[in-house]
Homo-oligomer: A and B are copies of this chain.
């Protein structure tokens, strides 16, 4: 089931899950959501992954009918799980971890009725905490993604033609991203994160509030997709914030850069410089043990001091975070937000995105993905950070 050269990486993940289960007093964890199956097995199958708090994992597969290996068992429906547990000498769990924040109510209740555990725990919350710290293979995949992401960004300027709209510009960037190996699928956690490949914000559209939990908004191309580019003409004096997410490997990177058509107002260049200063200040303070709330405050206070508090992370609607974990999903933990209780740990990967919205002009600022090292942070998304003239 698992590729042989990666078995050590997966054993490390399983061991972390077992430790977390023991702390919770749980004796089994059953996963069904695709991204969690991929995290724990390297495959996205239709079925279940079961890890006892003490013992080896089991892979219960409905489809596809090609997976094989030790502890791989086929089934038609979850109601067979108790008999399959019995047949394989697996103890039914008394406290079972289930994906409470991802499974639908109906699927959760179905599994609970099948297992009838004394108690259930929240496997989603547990996994989201564990997934913050990446394994060596995950870090390698993230680095690969960052390199491809930067290579695609190097072609953005070539995509521009005078007279284009933001949407037309985006279509060309999307194609270049795909040619550089973008998997296309943009994975986010939660039901309130609808997006297609990324976001481009230009001109007055940068002020448009959106319903989603992304850093900035944008009206979007249609009322059914209310985020990002909306057909704004890219005329002289427009700042274009390109925040096309990097899913060039299953482990994503997040990176934003600003492109300018003609000359922008001085305020835009100044705000961009402030964003770069904020990045430098947070980068300087970020290391294992650093408080995520404190990192947010460093950013916010500098924005305030520069007289740009009203433009920081939006105008009409302002996001209350300046960074977030990145991994298999774009919005992982930790979140750099004033109410966070989290601290950085070595092996975490997070995006830092101080941005300012300049009414009528667009959005400026920066976003990069960082790896937390033993002593500080390492920037993974390397690409020139000044405003790129088109």
Q: B-contacting residues of A (Cβ < 8 Å)?
A: 32-34, 38, 42-47, 62-66, 98, 100-109, 122, 124, 167-168, 170-172, 174-175, 178-179, 183-185, 191-192, 194-197, 208-212, 217, 221-226, 249-250, 316-317, 328
A167 partner residues in chain B, CB cutoff 8 A: 178
Q: Are the C-beta atoms of B223 and A38 separated by less than 8 Å?
A: yes
A221 partner residues in chain B, CB cutoff 8 A: 183
Report the nearest B residue to A44, measured CB to CB. Answer: B226
- In angstroms, Cα B168 to Cα A177, docked, is 12
- In angstroms, Cα B184 to Cα A175, docked, is 12
A43 partner residues in chain B, CB cutoff 8 A: 223, 226
Q: Are the C-beta atoms of B317 and A63 separated by less than 8 Å?
A: yes
A38 partner residues in chain B, CB cutoff 8 A: 223-224
Min CB distance A156 to B, Å, is: 15
Q: Using known A-B contacts A183-B221, A184-B196, determine if residue A209 contacts B174 with beta carbons closer than 8 Å.
A: no
Q: Are the C-beta atoms of B63 and A209 separated by less than 8 Å?
A: yes
Q: Using known A-B contacts A171-B179, A221-B183, A223-B44, determine if residue A210 contacts B102 with beta carbons closer than 8 Å.
A: no
Q: List 25 A-B contacts (CB under 8 A).
A: A32-B191, A33-B191, A34-B211, A44-B211, A44-B223, A46-B212, A47-B211, A64-B210, A64-B217, A100-B105, A101-B106, A104-B104, A104-B191, A105-B105, A105-B109, A168-B179, A171-B175, A172-B175, A174-B175, A174-B178, A183-B225, A184-B197, A185-B195, A185-B224, A223-B250
Q: What copy number does this chain have within its complex? A: 2
Q: Using known A-B contacts A105-B100, A317-B64, determine if residue A224 contacts B44 with beta carbons closer than 8 Å.
A: yes
Report the nearest B residue to A33, measured CB to CB. Answer: B191
- In angstroms, Cα B212 to Cα A33, docked, is 12
- In angstroms, Cα B322 to Cα A344, docked, is 51
A47 partner residues in chain B, CB cutoff 8 A: 211
A34, A98, A328 interface centre (most CB from chain B within 10 Å): A34
Q: Are the C-beta atoms of B102 and A104 separated by less than 8 Å?
A: yes
- In angstroms, Cα B105 to Cα A173, docked, is 38
Report the nearest B residue to A41, measured CB to CB. Answer: B223
Contact of A196 among B103, B185, B316 (CB under 8 A): B185
A106, A168, A224 interface centre (most CB from chain B within 10 Å): A224
Q: Are the C-beta atoms of A225 and B184 separated by less than 8 Å?
A: yes
Min CB distance A329 to B, Å, is: 11
Contact of A250 among B100, B212, B224 (CB under 8 A): B224
A212 partner residues in chain B, CB cutoff 8 A: 46, 63
Report the nearest B residue to A120, measured CB to CB. Answer: B105
Report the nearest B residue to A184, measured CB to CB. Answer: B196
Contact of A175 among B175, B224, B249 (CB under 8 A): B175
Contact of A65 among B184, B197, B317 (CB under 8 A): B317
Contact of A105 among B103, B250, B317 (CB under 8 A): B103
Q: Are the C-beta atoms of B44 and A183 separated by less than 8 Å?
A: no
